[in-house]
């Protein structure tokens, strides 16, 4: 599906393409002891050059699986069908040497929990320099000069270059991960719950940092979170995922304040708006639980939790359809879901 996006910013060394990332009919099925587990089911999602797309949804809906697919980081035995076009090349079918070249330089990932992603016994300067040395084939001296620039960009003093990960705070470690993600000037950064486990103040700083850096450098961003409010603050566009499918997609502010799918509305109501004093209520969970991916209900997967479910919903699993200018939602009520206006 194609959505209008923010105009790409000037980036002399990278030619902007209409859709930098174009995911078509992606299905990902894990092999488990209990049989095949469909984690992503026929997803279409695209991202324009320079655009910031947020992907939201509750735990287990397939967000991380989708993120990992973009760089083919899924466990062996996982079946993936469809296409993931990155700059026009299909990541799912490219050879290993091309895939190695695309990782870091074409697209990079910032995972949640930097402590698990960083090597505890290597100084951070060496870890940030590693992808630069691997991809850009520059001298050690030049690589370390670039590390100093990157550290400054992510707000860390150059003196921290010699630190080991355990000598840094959680927020500082996440800044190191962002520096690594930027190291080879990728076209796309995928940030998978980049602020989970950080305190609220630090979360806001890190989100602002990611948003500012990608905007300044014209990098596209796919940011993943269960928190729609966080994504609405950082991204231009939001896609909402439920039980392995995209159920809504549209401009960030509109999706957050006036969701067209009942799940989007429930998710938006479950999180307060950051920095909005009128919404300082505790986040509350959605009633019920997401379905077991191996035993999905018939028809619409959201039906058992949906306040608007009707008989048709037991038989029809709706596809995404137009729900306004630049908007799409997958619900039989798509034209009749009452709009709530500003929350
Ligand atoms: N390696 C794996 N093997 C088998 N099943 C998996 C694997 N990784 C994830 N799953 C299952 O796939 C489904 C989607 O998981 P995924 O982690 O992609 O969701 P998520 O929305 O990112 O959730 P979270 O926010 O908790 O990370 C879940 O049912 C999960 O249990």
Distance 61 CA to ligand 1 centre (A): 7
What CA–CA distance (Å, rounded) separates 23 from 93? 13
CB 143 within 8 A of CB 161: no
- 226 CB less than 6 Å from ligand 1? yes
Distance 126 CA to ligand 1 centre (A): 32
- 65 CB less than 6 Å from ligand 1? yes
- 293 CB less than 6 Å from ligand 1? yes
Residue whose CA is closest, atom 9 of ligand 1? 65
What is the per-residue pLDDT for 272? 58
Residue whose CA is closest, atom 5 of ligand 1? 30
Distance 334 CA to ligand 1 centre (A): 28
Domain regions of the chain by residue span: 19-260
What is the per-residue pLDDT for 13? 41
For residue 224, give the ligand 1 atom closest to its CA. Answer: 22
Distance 64 CA to ligand 1 centre (A): 7
Distance 226 CA to ligand 1 centre (A): 13
For residue 226, give the ligand 1 atom closest to its CA. Answer: 25
- 56 CB less than 6 Å from ligand 1? no
Distance 157 CA to ligand 1 centre (A): 36
> Ligand 1 pocket test: which of 64, 242, 301 has the largest number of ligand atoms within 8 Å of its C-beta?
64
What is the per-residue pLDDT for 285? 57
What is the per-residue pLDDT for 302? 96
> Domain 19-260 adopts which CATH fold?
Rossmann fold (3.40.50)
What is the per-residue pLDDT for 229? 86
Distance 66 CA to ligand 1 centre (A): 10
- 339 CB less than 6 Å from ligand 1? no
Q: Is this complex's ipTM strictly greater than 0.85?
A: yes
Q: 85 forms bridges with which residues in the sheet?
A: 22, 90
Give the pLDDT of the chain (343 residues) as one tens digit per residue. Answer: 333 333 333 333 444 447 899 999 999 999 999 899 999 999 999 999 999 999 999 999 999 999 999 999 999 999 999 999 999 999 999 999 999 999 988 999 998 776 678 899 999 999 999 999 988 888 989 999 999 999 999 999 988 899 999 999 988 999 999 999 999 999 999 999 888 878 888 888 888 899 999 999 999 999 998 888 889 989 999 999 999 999 999 999 999 999 999 999 999 988 755 544 444 444 455 788 899 999 999 999 999 999 999 999 999 999 999 999 999 999 999 865 555 544 3
Distance 159 CA to ligand 1 centre (A): 38
- 64 CB less than 6 Å from ligand 1? yes
Angle value at C-alpha 55, between 228 and 36, nearest 5 degrees: 120
For residue 61, give the ligand 1 atom closest to its CA. Answer: 21
- 30 CB less than 6 Å from ligand 1? yes
Distance 17 CA to ligand 1 centre (A): 31
């Amino acid at each position: 599906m194609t959505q209008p996006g923010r105009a790409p910013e000037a980036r002399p060394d990278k030619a902007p393409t209409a859709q930098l990332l174009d995911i078509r009919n992606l299905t990902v099925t894990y092999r488990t002891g209990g049989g095949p587990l469909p984690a992503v089911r026929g997803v279409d999602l695209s991202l324009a050059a320079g655009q910031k797309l947020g992907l939201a949804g509750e735990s287990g809906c397939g967000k991380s699986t989708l993120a990992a697919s973009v760089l083919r980081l899924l466990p062996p035995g996982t079946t993936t069908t469809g296409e993931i076009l990155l700059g026009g090349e299909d990541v799912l079918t490219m050879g290993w040497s091309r895939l190695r070249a695309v990782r870091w330089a074409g697209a990079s990932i910032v995972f949640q929990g930097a402590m698990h992603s960083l090597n505890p016994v290597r100084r951070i300067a060496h870890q940030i320099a590693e992808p630069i040395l691997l991809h850009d084939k520059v001298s050690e001296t030049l690589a370390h000069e670039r590390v100093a620039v990157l550290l400054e960009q992510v707000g860390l003093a150059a003196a921290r270059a010699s630190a080991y990960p355990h000598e840094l705070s959680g927020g500082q470690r996440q800044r190191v991960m962002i520096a690594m993600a930027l190291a080879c000037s990728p076209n796309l950064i995928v940030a998978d719950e980049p602020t989970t486990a950080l305190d609220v103040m630090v979360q806001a700083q890190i989100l602002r940092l990611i948003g500012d850096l990608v905007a300044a450098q014209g990098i596209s961003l796919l940011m993943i979170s269960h928190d729609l409010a966080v994504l609405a603050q950082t991204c231009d566009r939001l896609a909402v995922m439920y039980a392995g499918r995209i159920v809504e997609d549209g401009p960030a502010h509109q999706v957050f304040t006036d969701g067209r799918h009942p799940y989007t509305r429930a998710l938006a109501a479950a999180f307060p708006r950051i920095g909005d004093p009128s919404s300082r209520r505790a986040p509350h969970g959605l009633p019920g639980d997401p379905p077991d991916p191996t035993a999905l209900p018939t028809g619409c997967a959201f039906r058992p939790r949906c306040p608007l479910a009707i008989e048709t919903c037991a038989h029809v699993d709706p596809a995404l359809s137009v729900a306004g200018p630049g908007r799409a939602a997958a619900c039989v009520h798509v034209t009749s879901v009452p709009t709530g206006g500003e929350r």
